[in-house]
Amino acid sequence: MTTTVHTPDHAHGDDHHDHHPHGLTRWLAATNHKDIGTLYMWFAFIMFLTGGVMALCIRAELFSPGLQFVRPELFNQFTTLHGLIMVFGAIMPAFTGLANWMIPLMIGAPDMAFARMNNWSFWLLPPAALLLMISFAVPGGAAAAGWTLYAPLSTQMGMGMDLTIFAIHIMGISSIMGAINIITTILNMRAPGMTMMKMPMFVWTSLITAYLLIAVMPVLAGAVTMVLTDRHFGTSFFNAAGGGDPVLYQHIFWFFGHPEVYIMALPAFGVVSQVIPTFARKTLFGYHSMVYATSSIAILSFMVWAHHMYSVGMPVTAQLFFMYATTLIAVPTGVKVFNWIATMWKGSMTFETPMLFAIGFVCLFTMGGFSGVVLSIAAVDIQLHDTYYVVAHFHYVLVAGALFSLFAAVYYWLPKWTGFMYSETRGKIHFWWSMIAFNVTFFPMHFLGLAGMPRRIPDYAVQFTEFNALASVGAFAFGIAQIYFLFAVLLPTIRGGAGPAPAKPWEGGNTLEWEVPSPAPFHTWEQPPSRELVDKLAAQQQLH
């Protein structure tokens, strides 16, 4: 390696004592993609636990009929903030953190394109989270309209709603800047020889996700701005008395909201598309079709929003259009699922923890996808709308989908991040514990929904008692599993875990991040990887 300008003496050596800033400057003034990625991941995990505690309050209340622990008002605030925090505070930042950590490593870039803006994207999140938390303390409490903030509920509540609106604005700014950074990095910073069609799948899905973010976060900003002016400045966008319409809010919100669903799902697909080939020791089946399927899902996601609104009284023609468009999404999604299965077919599979979470993802996400197809049928949805069937559906795709893929990613890349192997036994315990507890929690909700139990209600008819009790037990077990993950897996691994990790801990890994030492030095790829290396890895992945 010719070390010319910009390259420190030990850039690619085994010396782990890189020169990096220390103390507060390192974290508050960070411009390093790895540090910022780490900040994102820890923030997301803290928010995950915060939102999780709210979920457990909900499940404690729903353990038996009648009102036990919380007032109905507080219950509504918990359901609202649980949703907002998990979506905007946990899942999205976690994927942005992964993108920050891994994209420069995977495409052979020294950092993100806009390193300082990257830091702003991250540091806007804690203030937004703080605003959401403060809203519990103001008169009237936090927003209680559900995470969708439907008018006219949202246009009538107390100042907690205003804090939520401004928190959403700040998180939106953060997301848009993060997305611009990801797009620019991928389009402009790839190593020589890494054409678009040789990029790892996770990079592809991050790119497409970033496009979705840029397209829809401003729309959400517009929607909540109109809520704000309806609340305080006399406008009547969502008020029929002035010529507006509450349903208009739903249209705008779900124009954001449905692509948002794929913002949380596409990077998960990317992670799984990295993990499964590695542990099946085969190349990803149908790489090109994966790229096209991801793009198709992204484009279709803009044309299906009103399937969230079958029960508002749309014309039948519109319902039919949105129904057909929605069921169409099952096609590219099916392509993906079959590609993952075909990747595993006749592979030399081993079942380390990342692979377990990835396979768990494929099984459970597919179930969530199927219940989604059920819900997409307008005639069926009229009965299932706003029941626990919907709750079961989106927790299958978001918890067993997005979250399980995040766990797969964390176990997969922990050796690269920390330089240490995690304990495989404990990882497996975490997986099976989560897997079983998840299904105990959410599978009964299908039955509850089919039987007619409405969502977002603190009390219910006695006929629903058994399944609710079961779900609550499962939820607490699931919560404890995540505490186990923190104290038995994550923290011990950072302190040394099951020993030092080699540069390439997984023999099937053939992307660029495994070519740098573990832990990845503070600066990597200050010289782009050689053309030969890029071509060799592409050939291993059978990408031409």
Reading the block at residue 232, the tokens are 């305080």
Give 159 or 494: the residue with its C-beta nearer to another protein: 159
**Shortest distance, position 272 Cβ to another protein, whole Å:** 27
Looking at the DSSP assignment, which residues form a beta bridge with residue 379?
none
Verify whether residue 258 is a known catalytic residue.
Answer: yes
527 vs 179, 203, 519, CA distance in Å?
25, 20, 18
Which one is catalytic: 190, 307, 393, 426? 307
- What the block records as the tokens of 80 is 């609202």
Active site residue 35: no
Gap between the Cα atoms of 541 and 31, Å rounded = 32
Residue 109 or 201 having the CB closest to another protein: 109
Closest distance between another protein and the C-beta of residue 30, in Å? 6
Distance CA 182, CA 102 (A): 11
In the set 162, 260, 352, 513, the catalytic residue is 260
DSSP 8-state assignment for residue 502: P
Q: Which residue, 171 or 501, has its beta carbon nearer to another protein?
A: 171
> Active site includes 301?
no
User: Cβ of 67: how many Cβ atoms within 10 Å?
Assistant: 11
Residues forming beta bridges with residue 420, ordered by sequence position: 500
| Catalytically annotated residue among 38, 294, 333, 441 | 333
End-to-end CA distance of the chain: 26
Written as six digits, the tokens of 354 are: 């990342």
What's the closest the beta carbon of residue 3 comes to another protein, in angstroms?
10
255 vs 506, which CB is nearer to another protein? Answer: 255
Active site residue 422: no
Q: How many residues does the chain have?
A: 544
Nearer to another protein, 214 or 330 (CB): 214
DSSP string computed for 21-47:
--HHHHHHT---HHHHHHHHHHHHHHH
Is residue 111 flagged as an active site residue? yes
Measured from the CB atom, is 124 or 325 closer to another protein? 124
Q: Which of 308, 385, 430, 446 is catalytic?
A: 308
Q: Is 230 a catalytic residue?
A: no
Among 27, 40, 101, 147, the one annotated catalytic? 147
Q: Is 288 assigned a catalytic role?
A: no
* Cα(265)–Cα(397) distance, integer angstroms: 8
* CB of 29 or CB of 320, closer to another protein: 29
**H or E segment and range at residue 374:** helix 353-376
What is the C-alpha separation between 29 and 21, in angstroms, rounded?
9
Contacts of residue 51, Cβ cutoff 8 Å, sequence gap at least 6: 81, 82, 85, 86, 89, 90
Has 460 been annotated as catalytic?
no
Q: How far is the CB of 162 from another protein (least distance, A)?
A: 4
For 350, the token pair is: 């081993």
In angstroms, what is the minimal distance from the CB of 130 to another protein? 7
Q: Would you call 353 a catalytic residue per the annotation?
A: no
Which residues 6+ apart lie within 8 Å of 270 measured at CB? 200, 201, 202, 203, 204, 205, 206
- For the CB of residue 240, give the shortest distance to another protein in the complex, in Å: 6
- Of 181 and 205, nearer to another protein (C-beta) is 181
* Residue 387: strand pairing partners: 454
Q: Per the residue annotation, which of 12, 169, 258, 430 is the catalytic one?
A: 258
Query: DSSP string covering 272-338, please?
Result: HHHHHHHHHTSPPTTHHHHHHHHHHHHHHGGG-GGGG-GGG---HHHHHHHHHHHHHHHHHHHHHHH
Q: CB of 80: closest distance to another protein in angstroms?
A: 16
Cα dihedral across residues 158, 163, 169, 174: positive or negative = negative
Q: For residue 354, which of 522, 202, 476, 178 has the smallest C-alpha distance?
A: 202
Cβ count within 10 A of residue 97: 24
Q: Which of 111, 352, 381, 515 is catalytic?
A: 111
Q: How far is the CB of 526 from another protein (least distance, A)?
A: 6
* Shortest distance in whole angstroms from residue 466 CB to another protein: 43
User: Can 175 be counted among the known catalytic residues?
Assistant: yes
Nearest residue (CB) to another protein, 212 versus 297? 212
Where in the sequence numbering do the catalytic residues fall?
Answer: 82, 111, 147, 174-175, 258, 260, 262, 273, 307-308, 333, 336, 455
